[in-house]
Structure formats: structure tokens, C-alpha cells
Amino acid sequence: MKKKIITLLVMGTLVFSLMACQKKEEPAKEDTATQTDDAKTESTGTETEEADSTDTIDSTTFPNITVDYAKKELSFEATVNGTYFTEGTRHGIVAADGSNGEKSVLRAVPKALDYEAALTALGLKGDTAVGLDDMKSSPADNIRNTGDPLEVFVKWDGQDEIPFNEILKADKDFDWNVVVTGNKEVQTSTGTGCILCLDSCAAGISANNIPVGSATSDIVFNGNADVLPADGTTVTVIVRAK
């Protein structure tokens, strides 16, 4: 009888020990699950940070120019030059600090070379098809810039964006097809500040690709006083890949 009692006591002790071990192991499983969840949270947090760091708008790399890589466009401020409401010009937009800064319909705040760098950052290329010697050509020679095509718009307070050619007037009809020129080297050496020329050019960073000489011997271009705001008004220029 005593042996049976001892046997029962031993078996009971073993069962109790096994139950106690199982209870101790269960929290360990919960800890593992918690660690797994923490790892997932950390992974998700990292992925979110990476997504947030991909900003499509860059307003620091190119001074005074905002570049939107997603839209493949850039924008900058300029001021209206009322002189060319009545005088003719071949300069659409020139950087205010350039040697031709007072010869354009719009004076741009950014530098021409920063504009060139922003176009390049958007993957746009010119052709450098027009050299300085070509600037003596006449429209009949049909020398043109033929780089990547652009669309140019202007807007200001109270006016939604409109095509750039609508702020111009001319004494005859003209074609309007703006392209990148690739004239970085000439612009660097001359410092004219030319951002948008009204006919093909060796120095302008972009140009309307009608033949060289068109705006000096064939067509008289002016700023359109019936469309543009008053002299000195700040406007925004938007340039998009076409």
C-alpha cells in the first residue's frame, strides 16, 4: 500500500513539473512574436522614410528655379520690361544679371547657366547646331536650333498660365517652336544671360527655332502690352518638356 502511495506521489510530481515547464515556455513564444512584430514595424518605418525622402520638387539645387521632376518642368520668376512694348527685340527672356539683361521682354531672376543645368537635370538636350559664326546668317540660310522641344508658359497674379507666344506681338505671322540649344559653352564664355531667344541663336539656352536672323531682319517682335501686365510686374515662367 505504501508503495502505491509513493508511486502516485512521484507521478503527481512529474505531471506538475511538466505543466510548470509548459507555462514557462509560453511567454518565450510571445516574446518571439513580439520581436517579429517589432521587426516588421521597423521595416515598414524604413520603407516609409525612403518613400518620403523621394521629393519630386527641387528648389535648392538650382538657385531661383523650382524643378518638378515628376512633371518634367521648371519654373522661375521674371519681371516685365515695358521698353519692348514699343521697341523691337529678339530676346524673349534674359537673366537680369546678363550683359543682355535689359534687352528682353522679360528679365529673369535666375542665371542662364542655372537654367541650363535645370534643363539638363530633367534629361533635356540641345544640339549646338548654331555657332557664333552663324549669327551673321540671314533667314534664307535656314540655320536653326533643333534640340529637344519645350513648351513655355507665363502666369501672374490674376492670370492663369498662357503660352509665351501670346505675350508677344509681331508685324507678321511667325512659327513658335521652342527647343533646347545646348549652348552652355558659348553662354559661359559670353555671359549674355540669354534664356529664351525669339529666333535660333548661338548663345541662348533655349530658342524659338525659326532661322537665325529672323528676328533682326525679317520679323519685328514686341512685348504685347494688351496682354502683359505693367512694366516691372513680377510674372512666373513655366518651362515643360514637350
Q: What is the pLDDT of residue 55?
A: 56
CB 75 within 8 A of CB 57: no
Q: What is the pLDDT of residue 56?
A: 72
SS3 at position 18 = helix
Q: What is the pLDDT of residue 209?
A: 97
Average pLDDT of 211-236?
98
Do the strands 178-180 and 149-156 form a parallel or antiparallel pair, or are they unpaired? antiparallel
Q: What is the pLDDT of residue 58?
A: 81
Q: Are 40 and 61 in the same domain? A: no
H helix count then E strand count, the chain: 4, 13
Q: For residues 197 and 217, give the distance between their C-alpha atoms in angstroms, rounded to a whole number.
A: 15
Q: What proportion of the chain, given as a percentage, has pLDDT over 70?
A: 77
Chain-wide mean pLDDT for the chain?
84
Q: Are 80 and 169 in the same domain? A: yes
CB atoms within 10 A of CB 31: 10
Looking at 13, 33, 54, the residue that finishes a domain is: 54
pLDDT digit string, tens, across residues 98-135? 999 999 999 999 999 999 999 999 999 999 899 999 99
Q: Are 126 and 140 in the same domain? A: yes
CB 223 within 8 A of CB 85: yes
Using the predicted structure, report yes or no on whether residue 25 has a pLDDT greater than 80: no
Q: Are 19 and 121 in the same domain? A: no
Q: Are 111 and 32 in the same domain? A: no
Q: Are 85 and 41 in the same domain? A: no
Q: Are 71 and 147 in the same domain? A: yes
Q: Are 31 and 82 in the same domain? A: no
Q: Is the pTM of this model over 0.85?
A: no
Number of domains in the chain: 2
Q: Are 132 and 34 in the same domain? A: no
Range of the domain at 166: 57-241
Looking at 54, 71, 98, the residue that finishes a domain is: 54
Give 130 or 5, the one with higher predicted confidence: 130
Q: Are 21 and 103 in the same domain? A: no
Q: Are 100 and 42 in the same domain? A: no
Q: Are 28 and 62 in the same domain? A: no
Q: What is the dihedral of CA 143, 220, 89, 197, to 10 degrees?
A: -30
Give 52 or 65, the one with higher predicted confidence: 65
Q: Which of the residue ranges 1-15, 87-101, 113-127 would you say has the lowest mean pLDDT?
A: 1-15
Average pLDDT of 146-168?
98
